[in-house]
Structure 1
Amino acid sequence: MPRFFSNLQQASIFKHLLKWTLLALPIAAGVGSLVALFLWLLDVATQYRFQHPNLLYLLPVAGVFIYALYKYLGKNAEAGNNLILDHIHEPGAGIPLRMAPLVLVTTIITHLFGGSAGREGTAVQIGGSISYYLGQKLKLSSADISIMLLCGMAAGFGAVFGTPVTGAVFALEVLAIGVIRYKALLPCLIAAVLADLVCSAWGIHHTQYRITFQKMPFNLTTFLQTDYLLLLKVIGASIAFGLVSQLFARTTHIFKNLANQDISIKWLIPVVGGLLIISLTFLLQTPDYLGLGVVPPPGGQVSITTAFTVGGATYFSWFWKLLFTAITLGMGFKGGEVTPLFFIGATLGNTLAVLTGAPVDLMAALGFIAVFAGATNTPLACTLMGVELFGGEPVLYFAVACFTAYYFSGHQGIYAAQRVAINKVWHSRENKNTPDE
């Protein structure tokens, strides 16, 4: 009899695996292909802006166009990632299919004219809208549609950065602080891996990051003299990473709230935002803080890739990128937050390495993932991202950086719809805001 029940259980597991593999295939094909198109267009737009820097002067006009698109075509699509998270928590009005083309087009416009934004938000919204549409067409239950949405998020994130394992865990971890819905882990992993393969099949190549740091062979002397001291430096830097991630989230929310309170004519909000970006660029006399910031623009010196080398960032590069991005995203332009967070973290890590004498490439890598971990409250996903992007040798430092930044970033992240399931500071009383499992 026990063997009979065991066979039934294995059959049920196989059926579950087959079902979600079949459902993940169209998600991966659609999301992976659209993300590939998005990344190609983004590269074209970035290169065109590099060749025509005067496009920056049209950023306010581009902002009005983005406002008009969402006002007349967007409906509830403007809520973006928060709409997807809200629907997973409490199914409501649904995710409009128009979200995918709208966010793709408006993100390209933002980058073409010099707005400081990323790409993760766009990829996740593409994934969410495509997966919800498929779930509706297949007449799936509300519970299965929620899993489809998580698969779409994982597929978008995994494909846009080439980090499928991170994408799967991120989709589950970002829903609520302190809990992970493991029931969707396998479907999310299948969708993320397949979407990354589809994106790569279209000829998309992701930026390769390498660090030269290697652990010293363990013995008592090297541990006390080298590893222990470096670990203390990493902990101190990680506290700063967490505080800066909180500063980014709060600054973005402040710009958004002030703009909506003080500017009654709403189409003027992106106009003011665009003028602020133009003014700051003239003030600093550098184009370094426009666009993605993965590689330095012509005439620029600071970017994510340069932050891994000595002299690849100034002491305040992280602050200027934070300010540029908070203005861009807080005042009506579209795009993600994650790549700017990579820039902020990597350049802050570079600065802290110079000040403390720590390895520059290691600290840049730690800032790269830890500021992201703090801003999104996803320390496990970001630790895995460190391994996927930089290799597994410094995994201890990745974990220390991401977990420490997570605790020091507070509870307000970049996603307003993210819930607090378990308070970061443990209390004897259970938190009442635990999401339904």
Structure 2
Amino acid sequence: MKYKKAKRFILLRDRLNYPLRFNPFVFSKLFFLWVAVGAIGGIIAGSYWIVLEQLLHFLSQFQGLLVIPLMATAGLLAGLIIHKLGDPGEMDLIVNNIRFKGGKLEPKNNPSMILSSLLCIASGGSAGPEAPLVQVTGSTGSWIARKLKFKGEDLRSLTIAGMASGFTALFGAPLGGSLFSLEILHHRHVVEYYQALIPAFVASCSSFVIFILITHIGIGPTWEFPVYSTPQLNDFFYAMLYALAGTAVGWLFIFTVRQSKSLFNMVRMPIYIRMAIGGLLVGTIAYYMPLSRYFSHDQLSILLKESFSVEFLVTLLIAKIFAISFTVTSGWRGGFIIPLFFVGAITGLIINSLFPGQNLPLILVSCMAAINACVTRTPISTIILLSTLTGFHQFIPIMFASLTGFFLAPKTPLINAQLGVKSSEHE
């Protein structure tokens, strides 16, 4: 008993003698490191976005038949960049390294990723900047962690925080970006990586502010959706019903991507030849169906504002699925989340045209949530991302639709590394 009292006295004396060592708050010095990682991610994302906008403005002047040689040339040049500067890999590599290599992402190929993705996206590829940004900012976080001699979960957490900062900057959803950076690793491992949630959230908030200051993009929904009326109990049932259509299109998309990948893998060829062929195919689709060009950030707004026939919407749906498939399987750099939302919106408009008088905003958001959850296996972050991007603030219908797409997804995911098996190609 006397020993315990003496020990308590010594501890109390040490606290009194060293008051600066006593921190009455939750946060520690690591908080400022997470903020710094987010700020750096915001600067990278903001700079990337400004350059991308300038390139989009310049290359969008090429219309009509010129689109085909433009995109074939862009694919060739982007392929040569990757051939000379190194292959930065794709989302499979990111997930694989986070899960099996302690979160170490190599920044040495970031110049290749930045240059090739800017060229691919700006020329009209059907893939967005989210994947390149996630890789660049994630590897930057990993580089900072290694410079500070972090190991284990601390290194992994800082890498995930970097990933979240890049994703958040583009989508303007700090919580959605944080959760996505965990969910994309595999839904069963969100709890495993829970330690990284707060670092990711702090970095996301920091990145969001910096990105807004750099780009001057307003805070608010990205797309002007029809106003959703007061939710009814039946809406949850209808959300799942509409989600079945979105999930079916998700299966079709996954099947098309796999067939396209097999097609490109039939013949071994240099990356620049493969990407030139991909550009030729995507450019041809864009010539006949201009709305299928680009990653659909602006095209979705056009889709919502104008009226189209069912025949046109079905043709556009097929064209966009093939455009995304050829883009991502031929080696073009970019992500497919925004293009998937576009495909989901087309599906919703087709349903609304076939069965008029339904709740259009509910149809749209249900199909968009279902297809993204089906393909990317990110049902939780999909809810928050869609709510932020569309201004559809009734979470529960989106939740039912997102879970429907998730649980009815194919057992084998599109991103192979989500299976939990170490990929030998990245050894």
- TM-score, normalization by structure 1: 0.82
Quote the residue 1:332 is aligned against: 331
Cα 1:155/1:414, change in 2 over 3 Å: farther
1:275, 1:212 → 2: CA distance? 36
Matched, 1:308 2:313: no
**Distance in 2 between residues matched to 1:256 and 1:195, nearest whole Å:** 35
Match of 1:159 in 2: 169
Q: Which deviates more from structure 2 when the two are superposed, residues 312-321 or residues 194-203?
A: 312-321
Letter aligned with residue 69 of structure 1: I
Determine whether 1:96 maps to 2:95: no
- Percent of aligned pairs with the same residue? 22
Aligned to 1:383: 383
Which structure carries more helix by proportion?
A: 2
1:85-234 equivalences in 2 (<5 Å): 85-91=95-101, 94-180=104-190, 181-205=193-217, 208-216=222-230, 227-228=233-234, 230-234=235-239
Contact 1:117 1:335 in 2 (8 A): yes
Pairwise CA distance, 1:27: 1.2
Map of 1:338-357 to 2, 5 A cutoff?
338-357=337-356
Partner amino acid, structure 2, of 1:209:
W
| Per-residue Cα deviation, 1:382-431 (whole angstroms, up to 9, x for no partner) | 1112332334642221101111011122233342211359xxxxxxxxxx
Deviations 1:262-308 (A, max 9, x none): 244543212221222233234x3x3111112222xxxxxxx211333
Deviation at 1:50, TM superposition (A): 2.2
Find the counterpart in structure 1 of residue 425 from structure 2. Answer: none
Q: How far apart, CA to CA, are the structure 2 residues paired with 1:190 and 1:93? A: 18
Q: Which moved more, 1:190-199 or 1:180-189?
A: 180-189
Distance 2:236 2:306 in 1: 20
Structure 1 portions without partners, runs of 5+? 218-222, 296-302, 422-437
- Higher mean C-alpha deviation, range 380-389 or range 194-203: 380-389
Query: What is the rounded CA distance, in whole Å, between the counterparts of 1:12 and 1:353 in structure 2?
Result: 61
Partner of 2:90: 80
Is the 1:164–1:196 Cα contact (8 Å) retained in structure 2?
Answer: yes
Question: Which deviations, in whole Å up to 9, do the C-alpha atoms of 1:311-352 show, x marking residues without a partner?
Answer: 257234222211101101111111111111111111111212
Q: 1:241 aligns with which of 243, 246, 256?
A: 246
Which residue identity does 1:125 align to in structure 2? Q
Partner of 1:293 in structure 2? 296
RMSD: 2.8
Residue 39 (str. 1) matches residue 49 (str. 2): yes
8 Å CA contact retained: 1:213, 1:394:
no
Tell me, yes or no, if the aligned pair for 2:244 and 2:370 is still in contact at 8 Å.
Answer: no
SS at match of 1:340: helix
Task: Give the Å deviation of 1:242.
Answer: 1.8
Look up the match of 2:70.
58
The residue matched to 1:418 in structure 2 has which SS? helix
Q: How far apart in 2 are the matches of 1:346 and 1:123?
A: 24
Q: Does 1:368 align with 2:371?
A: no
For the structure 1 residues 187 and 67, does the alpha-carbon distance in structure 2 shift closer, same or farther, using more than 3 Å as the test? Answer: same
| CA displacement, residues 334-386 of structure 1 (integer Å, 9 cap, x when unaligned) | 11111111111111112122223322233223333332222110111111123
Q: How many angstroms apart in 2 are the aligned matches of 1:165 and 1:13?
A: 27
Q: Which has the larger radius of gyration?
A: 2
Q: Which residue of 1 aligns with 2:424?
A: none
Residue-by-residue CA offset, 1:160-215 (whole Å, 9 max, x unaligned): 11111100111111111334132211111101111111101113416622334444
With 173-182 and 117-126 compared, the bigger mean Cα shift is at 173-182
Change (3 A) 1:91 1:420: closer
Report the TM-score when normalising by structure 2: 0.84
C-alpha change, 1:149 and 1:343, in structure 2 (3 Å) is same
The amino acid of 1:67's aligned partner reads G
Matched residues in 2 for 1:212 and 1:240: separation?
20
Matched residue type, 1:308: L
CA-to-aligned-CA distance 1:42-89 (integer Å, 9 cap, x gap): 2222222222222541322222222222223225x2x23222211221
Alignment of 1:382-421 (within 5 A): 382-391=382-391, 393-419=393-419
- Quick one: distance in 2 between partners of 1:329 and 1:68? 17
**Structure 2: segments with no counterpart, 5+ residues:** 16-20, 422-427
Please tell me the residue identity of whatever aligns with 1:200: I
Q: SS of 1:52's equivalent?
A: coil
| Alpha-carbon spacing, 1:15–1:112, altered in 2? closer, same or farther (3 Å) | same
Aligned match of 2:80:
68
CA contact (8 A) 2:126 2:292 kept: yes
